[in-house]
Amino acid sequence: MLHGKRVILGISGGIAAYKGPALVRALVEAGAEVRVILTRSAVEFVAPLALQAVSHNAVGLDLFDPAYEAQIGHIELARWADAVLVAPTTANLLARLAYGLCDDLLTTVLCATRAPVVLAPAMNSQMLAHPAVQANLALLAAREGHLIVQPDQGALACQEIGPGRMPDPEVLIAALAGALSPRRLEGRRALITAGPTREAIDPVRFLSNPSSGKMGFAVARAAALLGARVTLVAGPVSLPDPVGVERIDVVSAEEMFEAVMARVQHPDPDQRPEVVVKAAAVADWRPAQVADHKVKKTEGEQLTLVMERTRDILAGLGALPDDRRPILVGFAAETRDLDRYALDKLNRKNLDMIVANQVSGPTSAFGADLNAVTLFDRQGGRVDLGPAPKDEIAAGIWGHLLAISPQLGARSRPE
């Protein structure tokens, strides 16, 4: 998510500073090169040596340290950064930053940089509610290039329960990636489906497939990073909510059909998605009868199920009149003749683009973190993506869709 990005992690002197080394690890695992700057107070809570070891870079502590300044001057450091994350941001640092004080290395770099700044305020709930803190937060939220990540609710170190906790690393990383992303889908509404569906046989058994939902969740995350308002309709998967995405959980193909159609045919046109990506592995058939009670194995050596077709969501969307039809992207998971089946589905279901996926053999996509796909579009274009992490594949899918659908370009840009 932060591949090749240069990130300054500023740590100020809140209790959550002790989470610094784990945050650095997560940033590095997300692909970032990290340089850490600590305030004087932060050194009371976390050891610089630990941060140096996990970031593989010297830690900045003092604006007037000749050795550090010789290694990388504070202005050079401010220019080096693609983004600055301050986590935790203390009430004191918010005040200093709001008023442009430059009385240590971190605040001086924050004033000198033109990179996006992401602030994660974390403190006792009463401190957070103080009018001065709220006024500083409002000032900084309105400042160009500054993004505030709302603190979480929960048990605080001061043994109170309330708002003020520093969010988990994945939330901070998503905020950083969002601050770095060109907001090419700003103002657009996207609906993504993900995961498998389950079709009940009886109250304790179902038919399903091995889809993990990872690809669809990555597509939803990528759209949110590009600035879209994203609804994710998810089958039963065990994945955390993507940051900044509205998630609707469903179980069966019928429930998924209802959830998608309700949004695509919303009475208010301004609520309808303008683009739908159907990454879910939806069951094509379901048992025609669902037993009221558990089918007992004493009922026989064999069990015959009569199956009936489920409603086809993509075909339903493709058949909408042109002025009601969102831009449509389907997925084709095939075990053979991938190109032929994918192109046939693209045309038959009236799609704008199809993402073709080989789901057997060494590049099997189900459950994996890497994927390799081929995109086919209605204009006859063909693009191979991967093997690559699913987040990169997702970014590639949106990149190609934006290239072939100029009407999808952002409505308004924040800059």
Ligand X SMILES: Cc1cc2nc3c(=O)[nH]c(=O)nc-3n(C[C@H](O)[C@H](O)[C@H](O)COP(=O)(O)O)c2cc1C
Residues that bind ligand X (CB under 6 A): 12-16, 39, 41-42, 90-93, 122-123, 127
State the number of CA atoms in the 13 A half-sphere of 362 facing the CB. 1
Cβ distance to ligand X smaller for residue 105 or 253 = 105
- Written as six digits, the tokens of 341 are 């089946």
Least distance (Å) from ligand X to the CB of residue 17?
Answer: 8
For 319, phi then psi, to 5°, come to: -85, 0
Q: How far apart are alpha carbons 72 and 69 in whole angstroms?
A: 5
| Nearer to ligand X among residue 87 and residue 279 (C-beta) | 87
- Listed in sequence order, the residues at least 6 apart from 365 whose beta carbon sits closer than 8 Å to its beta carbon are 215, 333, 357, 358, 359, 371, 372, 373
What are the CA-CA distances from residue 95 to residues 29, 107, 139, 165, 305 (Å)? 32, 11, 10, 19, 67
Side chain identity, residue 118: V
- Residue recorded with tokens 């990290």: 34
For 72-116, where are the E strands, in sequence order? 83-89
Q: Least Å distance between CB 150 and ligand X?
A: 15
CB of 84 vs ligand X, minimal distance in Å = 15
Catalytic residues: 158
Pairing of strands 327-334, 353-358: parallel
Contact, 372 vs 390, CB < 8 A? no
CB of 115 to ligand X, least distance (A): 20
Question: Is the CB of 141 or the CB of 307 nearer to ligand X?
Answer: 141
**234 bridge partner residues:** 194, 249
Q: Which residues contact 235 (CB under 8 A, 6 or more apart)?
A: 193, 194, 195, 196, 197, 198, 211, 213, 250, 251, 256, 280, 281, 282
